[in-house]
Structure 1
Amino acid sequence: MKVVNLKQAILQAWKERWSDYQWAINMKRFFPRGATWDILNLAEALLEQAMIGPSPNPLILSYLKYAISSQMVSYSTVLTAISKFDDFSRDLCVQSLLEIMDMFCDRLSCHGKAEECIGLCRALMSALNWLLRCAAFYAEKVKETLEQAAAESQLKMCLERLGKMLSSTKNRALIHIAKLEETSSWSTVEQSLLKLGENLNSLGNSPLRSRADDCISLIKSIPTMLSVHSEHLNKTGFPTVHAVVLLEGTMNLTGETQPLVEQLMMVKRMQRIPSPLFVLEIWKACFVGLIESPEGTEELKWTAFTFLKIPQVLVKLKKYPQGEKDFTEDVNCAFEFLLKLTPLLDKVDQRCNCDCMDLLLQECSKQGLLSEANMDNLIDKRAADREHAPHLKSAENANIQPNPGLILRAEPTVTNILKTMDADHSKSPEGLLGVLGHMLSGKSLDLLLAAAAATGKLKSFARKFIKLESLKVFVSPPTAKGAPVRALLFDISFLMLCHVAQTYGSEV
């Protein structure tokens, strides 16, 4: 049979009793790669065919569930399709739709373009309105004696889903965004809310009435979310810490860590910031700086600042009195908070082309800021979140080594190079030329200088280059073979010194 359209393909699958896996394979064979399943309205087409009879078609519903689980269709298109079903008298169909919502309503996410994210907000508001209409219908049916028990059961299921959806602050925030985008749609929600309130009067003081009132109260609080939380945000967001860290990372990478530690501690004491939120704000500022840094040398500077300098700062902060609680527990708690900022972590991973949290946790553990058990626990949690994140590596950058990993490997190399430069090369400078030549390959020099700057070793580097410029290295008369080598050493060390001055300032 030659497939002409989506409906025909679904009917063929149903007639031939394809399994969900077989259906997915055949669908990809029938339709071209260019069009996405959302553009073809796959979720709506499946629901339309599944809900034709008085009870849902279990086989076609299994196709939809497979499509949701395998991310063939987006959550927004599924919610939109569900909200178009309005024959609430078919109890079994409504139950099936509520079960489908259970699959993802507690973990809604969207990793597409801005328009797709706004689409999810709108779809969630449509689903909210659908649940309110559904609840209002069954609240009305409760008045009828013959159908009271069945109606109460259906109403209970609807209110459970409403409560589950609205219990998430993130979901309420998404609905708030949709309200700001489409005020007319929010008016429809308010009308459904009034209708539900009217129909609930017949329930008296039953547990269902109490649950419904809780849901109504949460919905009514959505328009005032920003104003209500403004005072709370002042207590949990600390822009001064953010500003100090951003200023240091942008303007003073080569500075000593102790003045930064003292500045941060002064802010912490003056604003009475709890230690976990204090550490959280430092990491947030680092990741924001890393995301917004221009590509090239500035990005390397921020990478070194985040992965090398800030762990050193926290090591010094650990020595200050922190009350009864162990500072490592505060650091662990801060990372737990940071894990909840999934969009920020996804963005920084995308920018750096790696799992930044993993590398940062390992570095903090190495510095004694985290126990190994806590580190493993946090890494596992982030790994689970990353499974739902977009593919971070594209074909074009899959072979590019991430800067955080390179910076962390460059740090011990800096120490080794400094030791090499301290040795006596007056008799055989060829070995030193090889080391400097290696530093010039690719972006090795910028990586090494960034690592040196973040660990307070850049001035040592500069002094070594100046020493190479001096005649002390070339005390013995050059041989015919050694003269070109020494000339090259002079040129390379001079150019490196100029590069340090241009990149980090002449005061270094």
Structure 2
Amino acid sequence: MDPQQTYTAVQELLLTAWKERLPEIKWSIQMKKVLAGTPIDGYTLCDMILSQMFIGPNPSSLLISYLKHSICTQMVSHVAVLRSLAKYEDTCVTRPFCMKSLLEILKLCVVKISCLGPPDECLQIAVALLQVILWLVKSICLSLEKIADSGSVPITSNLIQMCELVYGICTQDQTRMLLFIARLEDEALWSQLEGEISSVSSIVSNAYASGSSRGNHLEQVLNTTRPQPNQANRKESKERVMMDSPKVKLERALESALKIPNCRYSGRYLPTTHSMEYVSGNINCYINIMTFIETQLTITHDPQLFVDQILLYEKLQNLPRRQVYTALCQGSLLGLVDSTDDTDQIRSFAFLFLKLPQILSHLHQNTPLQEAKGSSLYQGLSDLLKYVALLDSVDRKHKCDCFQQFLSQLVKLELLSDNQAKELMSKRHRSRHTPSDTTQQQHRVIHAKSSLPTILDSLEVPDKLVLDEMPDVFNPLMKSFQLVVATFAATNELKKFTSKLISFNEITKTTIVDGSKGSHVQGALFDISFLMLCQISQQYGIELVNTGQFHADSLGRSSLGYQCHFTQQMVLNSEEESFFDRWAQQCLPDELGAKPTYLPWVQSEQSKIDQLVQLFFTAGDIKTMQMSCEELCHYMPHVVQQTLAAWEHGYIGKEQVQKVAEGICSEMFSLAVCATAWLCSNAVGVDASGDSKVWAFFDMFLESNSRSKVGPHFNNAERAAMMKSVVEKMKGHSSGTSSGAKESRGSMVSITNDPISWTFSSAFQEMMEKKVLTKKLRLELEMMFNMSGVTWICWSVIGEVLKLNRRDDLALAVGAAYGLFQVDNEQLTIALLRRVLPRLLSDPSHNNSITDPRGRALAKLTVWCIASTLTTQNSYRADPKTKENPMKIRKRKRTRGEPDRDSTSTLREDNRPSKLRRLLSIPDEENASSGLTTSLSTTTSPLLVPQTSTQLGEPLYKTIASLMQLFASILSENGLNSRTEFIYSFLQEILTCGDAVSSTVLQFMPVSMANHLFSTISKSFIQDLALAIGQLDSVVARRQAARALCIMGR
């Protein structure tokens, strides 16, 4: 039967059924026989029924019942009905009774929308529903025009029903989210709807403002109320009467339509029996650890990065801002109590008085709308005054009214008013338990801050001819160097200060040491700037002295001849690299130990080296060599190498070696630093406590310092002390006997005598108990971090969390672990996703470890770490200054074996050394055994958002995508166990992090995983998950989201 014959047969059947009054079921049976094997679909059938329904002056009730039966039996789909209804544009004013029937049919459809077709048809339902809303708003607009002219009662009744329908569709969960997806799918249709809503609002406002008879008539109809069922004899307030008026219903309907883009997660699916309760102490644990890390490890970083992490934690925990303020101040004061030496105290005070006010200022600018800006900080500081013992302890230890001086800094930034500061101080005086014996003088850190601009101005590099006057500038700077550097660091200006020092070092490095006054002054300036830069690099990181691109040949050797690792290449600030930058990257030992050096033999330079060795043996005058400062630093490792070789082979004795050490120190202290840097490299693997000539030679430089014959000019005492500090720290990094290690000698003994895992467990438990990361614990964890790497640390942290069972203990452990991960969040997060989770999920022996509430705690920690890493990366990409200023990148100092993310991602495959290409191509055996695939090219299930190779080149993104593939594989087993519960918990926690994080993670979800989830999870979870997936910029994602919402209607 051709389509025309089928069309005629359907029409004849409709006419026969209307004449014979066939029951709905009998009509349905005959209709299915006619339609069997024909090309007529539900769209055509729905149009034909509606056409026959409206042939007469009034709609046929029998045909209406046929259409309703067809909808209920799914003979016609919802999308066919919705599209057919939207075709009757002017029926509302030309045939109001037919319009009433259309509205009844629409009510039946939207009560329970469902679809048995493919995902594409589900997306069509969403668009068709948006078309229906547009049709209703257009009909409302036409109805208002008609009512203003004639005031038809049926039209007015339909107007009320249309308003109620718009409001009901736009507020019901399923239909509201379908409209949200349709808005993203068809933006032009949504713009048209906004235009029609604006037209309706204009008609109503013009009617009230015109004062014409037509406007008065419309106003009267809109304000007329009708008694509700069972309420005719009930007295109602004026507010209740206005709520039932057509005008209020119209405004409510239009407002609900405009709120469609503001869909938010309900969170009703989150469990209550297994939820973790977060009390004040648990919250303080994380913020205390974060504050300590910011003070001791990352004080030079941009405060906005720290603020972003605090805002994220505030959002995840739904914290009041006043509690955040209190925790930040408490953490800063705890750092002051824990500080031991003068350097730690200066840094803690610099954070409290200089950087913390900046952080509070950033938070003040991001105050939530529901909180008053000034009151939150005032209330938070009032809560801080409850910690009387802490405040008294700080004042007693440092002989300073810290709270009063801290308030003065807040007043300067206009974060507090003078009256508020006075009220807080009055409360502080009343609550003080011990008599105040503190000084009222301004703290030296605050005083030093005011001198920073003067210092920077005075360090403007002058002409080389007037360098003779510069020692007077460096004289006061050398005497308070630690204070000045800590102040620069806390104000995020340390990079500027180091650039000034590097400029002095560069302009004086070519100075020929010939004994003249000018060369003497310039040599001293080179020496001072070199020592200052060494100390800054050791205390705050070598990235502060980066000034140019690190160049290496094919063997990884630099132009100076020292060997460097290939992965040390860094993209730096300027076009040319400075002398100190090259030297520090190649030679200066760091917390990971000494760096391997390579001293090539150059025949043309051997004569100069021999002359230098002979000069130091005979205590000659170095001015006869006519060498520049740069050349002396370059040749010094060769001098030490030959001297040590002669000593080890018995050609010279200890007394002659002592003369060489004294001769080097007597010329310039920077030469001793260069010499000991090479000794550190040569001493790798040599026991410092044994009979070693390397370490004996090393100690000679420290001992010769006190017997040096350098004259009392140019701060020689300060330079000698600075050289000793630098050399001792170099020795500590190379032999494990640094000052930090000496301070925690007891902990080092425990690490030596006990298994490292037991030591870590004790340190983590102590951190949970004290709710703060003390300096002693930090040194222990730092040593284990450097010894064992991020994977071991990550395993250990997760192991400590999964040992616990009680919800409050798990909450505290999650906060402590999350804070500890901030030491190197990106690397630890990747290790967690790539190494730890796959093994926990793939190994059946760990099933009990990830059962609730432990599984939910692990899911929460995982999601928080992902959100934290994404927040840092987004801040880095959003601010172009971060590419110029490495202090804006929040991360731990990378090991020399870790490639930097930004540099390695730009390396082309053919530019990599062949050895590195082979290493990168080797499959990860650990990942293969754990079930986590390292390549997405072998996966069969496509992703919700197709990814490019560039996007998957990002380590974190690639790891998330691989983990999602593992989740899909687990869910495909169609079992319900602790692993599937963990996946559900993971997704639930992802949705609590906001659109930015959820969209980034869910874009890597495989389509097969989405299909399985939508067929197994609860309806409340489907709503939020569909909303999150529907926001992804992909048609595939919107189809899956629409399909999930249609599943809810089954």
The normalised TM-score by structure 1 is 0.50
Relative contact order higher in (CA < 8 Å, ≥ 6 apart) = 2
Q: Whose Rg is larger?
A: 2
